[in-house]
Amino acid sequence: MENFNFYSPTEFVFGKGRAAETGHFVKKYGGTKVLIHYGGGSAVKSGLIGIVKKSLDEAGIQYCELGGVQPNPRDTLVYKGIDLCRNEGVDFILAVGGGSVIDSAKGIAIGVPYNGDFWDMYCGKAPEKALPVATVLTIAAAGSEGSGDSVITKEDGMLKRAVGSDHLRPKFSVMDPALTQTLPAYQTACGATDIMAHVFERYFTNTKEVEITDRLCEAVLITMVKEAPRVIADPDNYDARANIMWAGMVAHNNIVGVGRQQDWNSHGLEHELSGLYDVAHGAGLAVIMPSWMEYVYKHNVLRFCQMATRVFGCQMNFENPEVTALEGIHRFRSFLHSIGMPINFAELGAKEEDIPVLVEKIGIGDGKFGGFMELDRNDVTEIYRIAAHASL
Q: Is 193 in the site for ligand NZQ (CB under 6 A)?
A: no
| Binding at 147: pick from Zn ion, ligand NZQ, none (beta carbon under 5-8 Å per type) | ligand NZQ
Tell me which of 10, 55, 104, 138 binds ligand NZQ, using CB under 6 A: 138
The CB-of-123 to ligand NZQ minimum distance in angstroms stands at 17
Report the C-alpha gap between 215 and 287 in whole angstroms.
26
Least CB distance from residue 65 to ligand NZQ, whole Å?
14
According to DSSP, residue 113 is labeled T
Q: Is 98 in the site for ligand NZQ (CB under 6 A)?
A: yes
- Which residues in 299-338 contact ligand NZQ (CB under 6 A)? none
Using CB under 6 A as the binding rule, whether residue 143 contacts ligand NZQ is answered as yes
Could you give the CA distance from residue 120 to residue 270 in angstroms, rounded to a whole number? 22
Q: Considering only 61-69, 103-111, 192-200, 205-213, which stretch makes contact with Zn ion by CB under 5 A?
A: 192-200
Q: Say if CB 174 and CB 262 are below 8 A apart.
A: no
Exactly one of 151, 174, 175, 336 binds ligand NZQ (CB under 6 A); that residue is: 151
Total residues in contact with ligand NZQ, by rule CB under 6 A:
35
Q: In terms of CB distance, is 314 or 341 closer to Zn ion?
A: 341
272: enclosing H helix or E strand: helix 265-277
Would you say the C-alpha torsion 118, 122, 123, 124 has a positive or negative sign? positive
Binding mask 239-258 for ligand NZQ (x = CB under 6 A): -------------x------
The nearest distance, CB 265 to Zn ion, in angstroms, is 12
CA–CA distance, 211 with 197 (Å, rounded to integer)? 19
Question: Can residue 141 be called a binding residue for ligand NZQ (CB under 6 A)?
Answer: yes
- We find the least distance from the C-beta atom of residue 44 to ligand NZQ, in angstroms, to be 8
Closest CA to 78 of 151, 178, 4, 172: 151
Q: Which does 43 bind (CB under 5 to 8 A by kind): Zn ion, ligand NZQ, none?
A: ligand NZQ
**Cβ distance to ligand NZQ smaller for residue 41 or 349:** 41
- 3-class secondary-structure state, position 369: strand
CB of 72 to ligand NZQ, least distance (A): 5
Q: In whole angstroms, give the CA distance from residue 3 to residue 194.
A: 27
For residue 309, report the phi and psi dihedrals to the nearest 5 degrees.
-80, -45
Q: Which of 177, 110, 102 is nearest to 135 (CA)?
A: 102
DSSP assignment letter at 204:
S
Q: Rounded to an integer, what is the distance from CA 125 to the centroid of its chain? A: 21
DSSP sequence for 218-246? HHHHHHHHHHHHHHHH-TT-HHHHHHHHH
With CB under 6 A as the contact rule, the residue among 10, 55, 104, 144 that binds ligand NZQ is 144
Partner from ligand NZQ, Zn ion, none binding residue 180, C-beta < 5-8 Å depending on class: ligand NZQ
Spatial separation of the C-alpha atoms in residues 69 and 50, rounded to whole Å? 18
From residue 12 to residue 41, the character string flagging contacts with ligand NZQ as x (rule: CB under 6 A) and all else as - is ---------------------------xxx
Which listed residue (75, 194, 327, 379) binds Zn ion by CB under 5 A?
194
The pair phi, psi for residue 36, each rounded to 5°, is: -90, 120
Closest by alpha carbon to 387, among 336, 317, 338?
Answer: 336
Per the CB < 8 A criterion, the answer to whether 283 and 193 are in contact is yes
* Binding stretches for Zn ion (CB under 5 A): 194
Which residues of the shown chain bind ligand NZQ in the complex (CB under 6 A)? 39-43, 71-72, 97-101, 103, 138-139, 141-144, 147, 149-151, 179-180, 182-183, 187, 190-191, 194, 252, 267, 281-282
